[in-house]
Amino acid sequence: MTTVAEVAPPQARATVRDRLASPRALVLTCAALFLVLLASIVVAIGLGAAFVTPAETARYLWAALTGGRIGADETTTYQIIWQIRTPRVLLAALVGAGLSAVGVAIQAMVRNALADPFVLGVSSGASVGAVGVTVTGGLAALGVYAVSTGAFIGALVASFLVYAASSTRGVLSPLRLVLTGVAMSLGFQAVMSVIIYFAPDSEATSMVLYWTMGSFGAASWGALPVVAAVVLLGLVVLHRHGRALDVLALGDETAASLGHSPDRHRRFLLVVVSLITGVMVAVSGAISFVGLVMPHLVRMVVGAGHARVLAVAPLVGAVFMVWVDLLSRTVVAPRELPLGVITALVGVPVFIALMRRKGYVFGGR
């Protein structure tokens, strides 16, 4: 069984985890993280090429939500805050929350501490869909939503292929699921490379390569409701299946002895995480390390119970992604860094530090 195990943790960390195990402490923790998220959103919306103080940002947001009036000389700033930055920052929060929650679920589903939302090949499938639309000009009738739609279709096709190839007589084993996902991912990446190689437009190629590393540059109010609905509903569903994830993490034999059907749970969860991942990749591209590292960081604090982890991890991931997006658009302004560059620069050292931590072991002893 390749689950996350903790060996002889320090007394201080054990005490913190024991305190957070109580429902009241967990609620207070989530409330505190939610306030941190709100503050981060307001600050991130105000920062950029045109700096707006948090107080002014809050005033503009309140005016937009309540229909309040603003001065004629503030129209440009108001448009920047409400029409450009707000949907982008909210999308960053949603994607960060979704990636973290899906990472928690997939690591339990396949019983592999190194799994993340893209191990099943969904990300690569979405990338192929986006590349194909960009290079061929397909789905042109959808306008600005053509690339996102192509990415979502590619994600659904990838999910179906992975499920069909890894399922044998209705049995969906974790090892076969991981191996099939990795193989499909490599295959989709090869297809994407061929499409890019024969692309007649170098500008399209550059845009595709940038998109596959992650960006919220195409965020808009039009795309936000669908993403919010899918991600938030997915978070609720995953949290309600926290007990099932606990059982799956123990192994199929243990799950069966406790009266659970691991294959049925795994099939259902595969559909849920594929849908969430497909929607996120369609609007933001492929963003690495968030779904891999965040679950481990949260487990160190709140323990391995998936109900607790799924309550905290989305909030932590949302805060993290809001600040990552802020860095991506301000560090080398007016140019913009791909999100995957920043998440990798942060995620790799954190992941190595976790592996070297004496009280924390990936995959057991």
Domains of the chain: 19-356 (1.10.3470.10)
Radius of gyration of the chain (CA): 21
Spell out the residues 6+ positions from residue 165 whose beta carbon is closer than 8 angstroms to its own: 180, 184
Q: Give the pLDDT confidence score for residue 38 in this predicted structure.
A: 96
SS3 call for 88: helix
- What lies within 8 Å, CB to CB, of 224 at 6+ separation is 87, 90, 91, 94
Return the pLDDT at 359. 57
Confidence of residue 262 (pLDDT cuts 50, 70, 90): confident
Per-residue confidence (pLDDT) for residue 8, from 0 to 100: 41
Which segments within 19-136 are labelled E, that is strand? none
Q: What is the pLDDT of residues 326-345, one digit of tens each?
A: 999 998 878 888 898 899 99
Could you give the CA distance from residue 353 to residue 105 in angstroms, rounded to a whole number?
23
Q: Which residues contact 89 (CB under 8 A, 6 or more apart)?
A: 41, 44, 45, 322, 325, 326
Neighbour-count burial for 315-334, b at 16+ CB within 10 Å, e otherwise: bbbbbbbbbbbbbbbeeeee
What pTM did the predictor assign?
0.87
Chain center to CA of 81? 24
Check residue 56 and give its pLDDT: 94
Exposure of 58 in the CB half-sphere (CA atoms within 13 A): 7
What single letter denotes the amino acid at residue 201?
D
Q: Which amino acid is at 125?
A: G
pLDDT of residue 363: 47
| 332 phi and psi angles, rounded to 5 deg | -120, 35
Angle at which helix 122-136 crosses helix 174-197, to 10 degrees, equals 20
Indicate if the pLDDT at residue 357 is higher than 80.
no
Confidence tier at 16 by pLDDT (50, 70, 90):
low
pLDDT value at residue 139: 81
Report yes or no: 171 and 263 within 8 Å, Cβ to Cβ.
yes
Over the chain, what is the mean pLDDT? 84
Determine the average pLDDT of the residues in 12-22: 58
How do residues 168-182 score in pLDDT, each as one tens digit? 776 777 788 888 888
pLDDT for the residue 303: 85
Query: Within 13 Å and on the Cβ side, how many CA atoms surround 248?
Result: 28
Q: Angle, to 10 degrees, between the axis of helix 224-240 and the axis of helix 306-330?
A: 150
Distance, first Cα to last Cα, the chain: 11
Answer yes or no: is pLDDT of 151 > 60: yes
User: Which tens digits make up the pLDDT trace of 203-243?
Assistant: 667 767 766 788 898 888 988 998 999 999 999 999 999 99
Widest distance between CA atoms in the chain = 69
Cα–Cα distance between 138 and 145 in angstroms, integer?
11
Most confident listed range (40-54, 129-143, 264-278): 40-54
Is the pLDDT reported for residue 364 higher than 50?
no
Q: What is the DSSP string of 142-165?
A: GGGGHHHHHHHHHHHHHHHHHHHH
Determine what percent of the chain is predicted with pLDDT higher than 90: 32
Residue 230: how many CA atoms within 13 Å on its side-chain side?
Answer: 23
Residue 84 or residue 11, greater confidence: 84
